[in-house]
Structure 1
Amino acid sequence: MYDQNWLLDLLATTRDRTLALVDSLADDQLNVPWHPGVNPPLWEMGHAAFFYEVFVLKWLDGVPSYDPSMDDLWDSFHIDHRDRWSREFFPGRDATRQYFLAIYQRIEARIRQHDLSEQELYLYRYAFYHQHMHIESMIWCRQTVGYPQPPGQVSEPEVTGESPNEDLKEDAEIPAGTWLIGMPAESQHYAREDFAFDGEKPRHEVQLEYFRIGRTLVSNREFLAFVEDGGYRRPELWSFGGRKWLETETDVALVYGEPSPVLRCPQHPLYWQYRHNQWQQRLFDQWLPLDPEAPVVHVSYWEAEAWCNWAGRRLPTEREWEVAALGNRPGEPFRRFPWGNDAPSPQHADLDATAMARQSVAALPAGDSPFGCRQMIGSVWEWTSDQFLPYDGFRVDMYPFMSTLQFGDHKVTRGGGCATSSALIRGTYRQAYLPQRNDVYTGFRTCAR
């Protein structure tokens, strides 16, 4: 039997966070400039409500659409990305908000009126977590276009650690052996702890050789040394793909206070600048002094790879990452998080768009993995060396495009980032980004070669 109050609380949290991200913007800010990595906030809101209509109300009860004439506009597979900015076809704030709240009221009423099966509960959670993915994208939209910080974000988080001590500077040693990866294939039939998307399934055993992995994320201080050593101007440090990115990439960075995009070739991470004799980093609409002990963030796979070549290191494989984070072995209790199975808290991880990766890489020791690796959940999505491919035995889930569209040309990132919802993340979760993406909250840790 499911906990109805828990489900209603999750529904309310999801609704309120989305409303806050839209309601805190002025009307002119809702029309964000076109960018390939973001969507207009109102489209994000309408799309989330449409997902509930399709995968809960229509799927379970055959309920007709709230407005059938709008269905194609909210469906990401029926409207081209560029067309989502068209003011000619889409309703404004009030009408979109009314649609969003009407669907939420229907969902809330259905939860209260039905004894839900485990399968129904799985559909609800699927829709909630889908929306939390869009909450994260609404946050990086604000970062991309230089809007003010989202509600609830902590401008100056309490720093619980300074520079890493000597123990943290040493690699964690992971012994050779047999390890468990992923979630059970039948996890869609479980209500809470075993929820997973299709890309995380099925659970399987892997044999790994001994390896060593960094206990902390690569910091701004460490990445700055690469920048100041001319790392972006040294082609021998970059792979073919990285050199192509350097040659062809023109970053479009909306600098706060500028009337139009500033075009530049990469010479440092996307939201860095050197001004007034200091390195600075843009956090939403503010330029702040670069914190040397915070994790480097907003770097592409190619930048992470080049840094590794410069430092004589390598990126972990995604299975190495999961073993270092969770340490699950056959026949032993399975842990979903580095610290165990308790839900994430602010003492464990930087999540929910509060600290925004502004804490030291030495902070949050309560979230350490069994091998002493820190901040493997939250702070930044961590690049791995692997392409995003299905596990052996993969089966498409209820939403056929959750994973399949990314197979092959995307890289795997792990662990969640500072804008990821704590309700969504777990150690088995696999995120896929194109290797050139640097507008999202990506960073990395490394392994010894």
Structure 2
Amino acid sequence: MDKATLLADLETARQRTRALITSLPQATLNVPYHPGVNPPLWEMGHATFFYEVFVLNWLDRSPSYNPAMDDLWDSFHVAHRDRWCRELFPGREETLAYFDAIYDRVADRIRRQPLTDDDLYLYRYAIFHQNMHIESLIWCRQTVGYPPTPDVTDERAAPGDRVDGDAEIPAGRWLIGMPGESEHYATSDFAFDNEKPRFEVELASFAISRVPVSNREFLAFVEDGGYQRPELWSFGGRKWLQAESDVESDVALVHGSPEPVLHKPQHPLYWRWHDGQWQERVYDSWQPLTPDAPVCHATYWEAEAWCHWAGRRLPTEYEWEVAALGNRPGEPFRRFPWGNEPVAPEHADMGGRAMARNPVWDFPAGDSRFGCRQMIGSVWEWTSSQFFPYDGFRIDMYPFMSTLQFGDHKVTRGGSCATSPNLIRGTYRQAYLAQRNDVYTGFRTCALRTTP
């Protein structure tokens, strides 16, 4: 990677972050505490602080922009609820001034200093970290009900012909993950620590759906009483249903109901039955449910219950990666389902534009070698795998990128409509708690294995 490309990536992240903040009316920046998301100004300040600490302070030992603010932008020093205390933090103009000052310094350093491998790694790490928070800013808008982001479009990009059924994946030996540090971590094959080191795995043959589960397919489960049938839900799923009922009960009591109201979830988070039709909230407006779009904002427990209802199962993360990339030992390595060409609009629904509203059979140019579609973009796809390190795992320069999630999170794969295109690749592993449904999560399924 050369300096021009690096500076372009930095500037793109800068402009997208700026637009996500400045497009919000001032009044929306002062909403009360909301669990599960961070307030937009804190997201911006935190991403800026990351550049300051892991680029400028680390490489140059430069002093902080404002030492009095360091603890407030540091996610390990300020509690989640406290991030919503507006009196603790500067306002928008002061935060934007901090943001611009640090970005100018980083860009200037890239131009002036030699681009060593170590420096390149830190620059890219910080840029990718910021792109993670760009996705967080987008799902914050959805969660809180803010207006749409500036990039949203109603245009149906990359339409495709309808496909369905399963792709048959042969048994064999496959490559999983990205190279370890011994294979040079600063190359174009950048990866986070949880994707490394690459290894081989032997898998039996399996059949995986060519497209994600659609709203239409999930609606059939809803209308068949799926949420009221305990035999479809695992112990963890039933615990989640009860926990959601308890939340509803607490809300009812706060609003003056004389007794707890037990109301288990009946459908995905942002759905409702209204005026004789199913609707879905997209940002701050209710719209008719798009039947052939991928089901979105589904928890792991809902995906698992749907599989029990449909006689299917979730793929393991190794099966998912093989279906997406199909990398075999001794063959040229593929970073994306379509090869090694960077993500383009015809490949995937990404970058906060279509927001998972396209039919599941769109974006045919993004097909994998086995004919699986939308494995990159649209929705993060749940797998059945727990998030654990690969054998030979080594912590990267940021020690908390992965370690805090090992063991109690599930693995999702593929990125979403809100993910930045330059962040994703087929080996990327995202860890979410099984109950998460504020992020753009969906799923595809496998046929149940049969014994010979």
Per the TM superposition, whether the score is higher than 0.5 is: yes
- Partner Cα distance (1:232, 1:430) in 2: 29
Q: Does the 8 Å contact 2:158/2:363 carry over to 1?
A: no
Amino acid at match of 1:445: R
Which consecutive residues of structure 1, in runs of 5 or more, have no partner in the other structure? 254-259
Instruction: Give the alignment of 1:168-183 within 5 angstroms.
Output: 168-183=163-178
- Following superposition, the deviation at residue 118 of structure 1 comes to 1.2
- Partner Cα distance (1:23, 1:220) in 2: 33
Aligned position for 2:3: 4
Q: Does the 8 Å contact 1:136/1:419 carry over to 2?
A: yes
**SS at 2:15's partner residue?**
helix
Aligned position for 2:392: 393
- Partner Cα distance (1:357, 1:440) in 2: 12
- Following superposition, the deviation at residue 27 of structure 1 comes to 1.1
Residues 434/251 of structure 1: CA separation in 2 closer, same or farther (3 Å cut):
farther
Q: Does the 8 Å contact 2:49/2:73 carry over to 1?
A: yes
Residues 12/252 of structure 1: CA separation in 2 closer, same or farther (3 Å cut):
farther
- Following superposition, the deviation at residue 31 of structure 1 comes to 2.0
Aligned position for 2:251: none
Instruction: Give the alignment of 1:287-326 within 5 angstroms.
Output: 287-326=286-325
- Partner Cα distance (2:164, 2:6) in 1: 42
Which consecutive residues of structure 2, in runs of 5 or more, have no partner in the other structure? 249-254, 256-260
Q: Does the 8 Å contact 2:154/2:354 carry over to 1?
A: yes
- Partner Cα distance (2:323, 2:312) in 1: 16
- Following superposition, the deviation at residue 250 of structure 1 comes to 4.5
- Following superposition, the deviation at residue 252 of structure 1 comes to 7.5
Give CA-to-partner distance per residue, 1:328-367, whole Å, 9 cap, x none. Answer: 0000000000000000111000000000000000111100
- Partner Cα distance (1:46, 1:295) in 2: 33
> With structure 2 as the length reference, what TM-score do the two structures score?
0.94
- Following superposition, the deviation at residue 33 of structure 1 comes to 3.2
- Partner Cα distance (1:43, 1:54) in 2: 16
Aligned position for 1:257: none
Give CA-to-partner distance per residue, 1:341-397, whole Å, 9 cap, x none. Answer: 000111000000000000000111100001000000000000000110000111110
Aligned position for 1:256: none
Q: Does the 8 Å contact 1:119/1:189 carry over to 2?
A: no
Aligned position for 2:132: 133
How many residue pairs were aligned?
437
Aligned position for 1:382: 381
Residue 203 in 1 paired to residue 198 in 2?
yes
Amino acid at match of 2:319: E
Aligned position for 2:285: 286
Aligned position for 2:353: 354
Aligned position for 2:366: 367
Amino acid at match of 1:119: D
Q: Does the 8 Å contact 1:143/1:283 carry over to 2?
A: yes
- Following superposition, the deviation at residue 141 of structure 1 comes to 0.3
- Partner Cα distance (1:200, 1:442) in 2: 20
- Partner Cα distance (2:137, 2:374) in 1: 23
**SS at 2:72's partner residue?**
helix
Amino acid at match of 1:69: A
Q: Does the 8 Å contact 1:159/1:360 carry over to 2?
A: no
Give CA-to-partner distance per residue, 1:206-229, whole Å, 9 cap, x none. Answer: 000010000000000000000000
- Partner Cα distance (1:204, 1:33) in 2: 47
Amino acid at match of 1:57: L
Aligned position for 1:436: 435
- Residues 292-301 or 28-37, more deviating: 28-37
Aligned position for 2:242: 247
Residues 105/187 of structure 1: CA separation in 2 closer, same or farther (3 Å cut):
farther
Amino acid at match of 1:196: A
Give 4+ residue runs of structure 1 displaced > 6 Å after superposition: none
- Following superposition, the deviation at residue 159 of structure 1 comes to 6.6
Q: Does the 8 Å contact 1:352/1:418 carry over to 2?
A: yes
- Partner Cα distance (2:286, 2:246) in 1: 18
Identity across matched positions, percent: 71
Q: Does the 8 Å contact 1:381/1:443 carry over to 2?
A: yes
Q: Does the 8 Å contact 2:300/2:434 carry over to 1?
A: yes
- Following superposition, the deviation at residue 192 of structure 1 comes to 4.5
Amino acid at match of 1:12: E
Amino acid at match of 2:303: A
RMSD: 1.6
- Partner Cα distance (2:97, 2:343) in 1: 33
- Partner Cα distance (1:51, 1:216) in 2: 37
**SS at 1:423's partner residue?**
helix
- Residues 419-428 or 110-119, more deviating: 110-119
Aligned position for 2:15: 16
Residue 27 in 1 paired to residue 22 in 2?
no
Within the candidate set 185, 207, 210, 2:180 is matched to 185
Give CA-to-partner distance per residue, 1:257-276, whole Å, 9 cap, x none. Answer: xxx9xx95310000001111
- Partner Cα distance (2:155, 2:269) in 1: 21
Amino acid at match of 1:236: E
Aligned position for 1:447: 446
- Following superposition, the deviation at residue 79 of structure 1 comes to 0.7
Residues 406/3 of structure 1: CA separation in 2 closer, same or farther (3 Å cut):
same
